[in-house]
Chains A and B, each alone.
Chain A
């Protein structure tokens, strides 16, 4: 029971992170312990938990910024030449639910852009429409104190990566491309702004160390939308 009480306190602290994050980011750096939990939460059940290292606080703060409902805009640069005339306009939305104590974050993505084929009607690697729908999952890498993520697209292809901090707001990962059979590296740079208004996702596919395709996606938080963290409430003892 003492463990449950402790877990509940931890959970209450964690679930207020988005709100705390914005306050903390706006003000001078301060100890997380100095910030009171701002709202009373229902008792929640967290029966098991691996003890997190002290450094995990930064990751939890970052993950909490991802939770919410977003509209998406931006562009795909199919040849990565930086020429705006080539850009394919991106539109879509994302529902990002938190779960558990961190929270972990799951993105349900629907992202579209105009189709672009090669000169002979062939599919251009990396430019095909694959994110309508797609699912992204984020969690904490307890072994390396980093952020793990995976993206599974509408063709069932899974791209995963391990993100390390460039700064307090931006996480960068590099991993081999799964969908492109070449010497290809997928560079994912995600910036979650401390004002909680936007999440920027820049993905570059580098073939033979040259940028081949670029995605510049900006997610804008829907005004007045809800951020939901899911979990399990305890069963009543007498039930």
Chain B
């Protein structure tokens, strides 16, 4: 009879130990501990290995899809379904977003982060802890997307514009290094969709979409994309874009292009990402947009 309390105490102690162990695993080493032990280097290598393995698996999966007609047909049908949601007239009520990296006064010569558009090795002239500040502006316009024949090919005429984003935080934007060399603000330079022509079609093997856009400044860009887990078409630039700030020939351009078209929705989004600038064209299906179309013949010869 006396063994009862002892057994209970033993069980409680075992349970507490197990809990403590679990908590220790969940907490892990602090950032300082990781740094001191050099674990961050190991983790970086491990992360790189994981990324390479993931890419190899994706390529292997693509090869399997090319060999498996059923998988290929299913993927093409899924892309087909998304593309067939796109024809129509749309009113654009979008957003342009810019992420500015700023630094309060007081700290000098801190290297700029990788994501800032600056020449390599640039440093802030004044400093403190760097923070990201997001600026947004409205985009207005219209879009008309039409199917090419009976197929799923798509031809879109986009007319959209925005005001340049004001960098009104009072701090130095990271890309002021670029601006100080005579370039305009990226939000201004990219305001070239008056009009922009966008054409989308299918790649058969592997099942993907191919897209090309030519903007009003005649610059052409191509992307190749596929459906992601969320059902959106995510595509990466394949040409026409030197998206490497600081290198000779750099100019702002869109590294990724995403099409979001949910089933049974009257809203379609085209999202163009130019690094620190994101142009999100939220397009509301509206036949009356045809009446607002500002596109006109400028020259008839």
Contact = CB atoms under 8 A, between A and B. Distances in A.
Given A50-B252, A152-B155, A100 B297 contact: no
B194 A231 contact: yes
For A141, A147, A160, which residue has the most chain B Cβ atoms within 10 angstroms? Answer: A160
A157 B204 contact: yes
B239 A156 contact: no
Contacts of A144: 239-240
B153 A51 contact: no
B148 A154 contact: yes
B189 A50 contact: yes
B301 A19 contact: yes
B205 interface: yes
A51 B194 contact: no
Interface in A13-69: 15-16, 18-19, 41-42, 44-52, 56, 59-60, 63
A52 B83 CA distance: 33
Residue of B149, B192, B241, B301 contacting most chain A CB atoms (<10 Å): B301
A156 B148 contact: yes
A138 B220 contact: yes
Contacts of B191: 47-48
Given A51-B251, A154-B153, A233-B296, A148 B240 contact: yes
Contacts of A134: 148-149, 153
B197 A153 contact: no
B210 interface: yes
B201 interface: yes
B251 A142 contact: yes
A80 B155 CA distance: 31
A50 B252 CA distance: 8
Contacts of B253: 50, 142
Contact of B202 (A101, A103, A156, A230): A156
A119 interface: no
A181 B149 CA distance: 23
Contacts of A140: 214, 218-220
Interface in A121-175: 132-135, 137-144, 147-150, 152-158, 160, 162
Contacts of A3: 184
B172 interface: no
Interface in B222-278: 222, 239-242, 249, 251-253
Contacts of B220: 104, 137-141, 147-148
A137 B220 CA distance: 9
Contacts of A44: 298
A135 B199 contact: yes
Nearest to A229: B299
Contacts of B296: 230-233
Contact of B212 (A48, A49, A139, A142): A139
A101 B113 CA distance: 36
Given A137-B199, A150-B201, A101 B218 contact: yes
Contacts of A42: 298
B181 to A, nearest CB: 12
A104 B151 contact: no
Nearest to A232: B194
Interface string B27-57: 0000000000000000000000000000000
B283 interface: no
A227 B300 contact: yes
Nearest to A150: B212
A153 B148 CA distance: 7
Determine which residue in B194, B204, B251, B294 has the highest number of CB atoms from chain A within 10 A of its CB, and name it: B194
A99 B153 contact: no
A158 B153 contact: yes
B94 interface: no
Contact of B298 (A106, A152, A231): A231
Instruction: Give the 6 A-B residue pairs with the shortest CB-CB distance, closest first.
Output: A158-B201, A139-B220, A102-B218, A48-B191, A154-B149, A139-B214
Interface of B: 80, 83, 148-155, 159, 161, 184, 188-192, 194-195, 197, 199-205, 209-212, 214-222, 239-242, 249, 251-253, 294-301
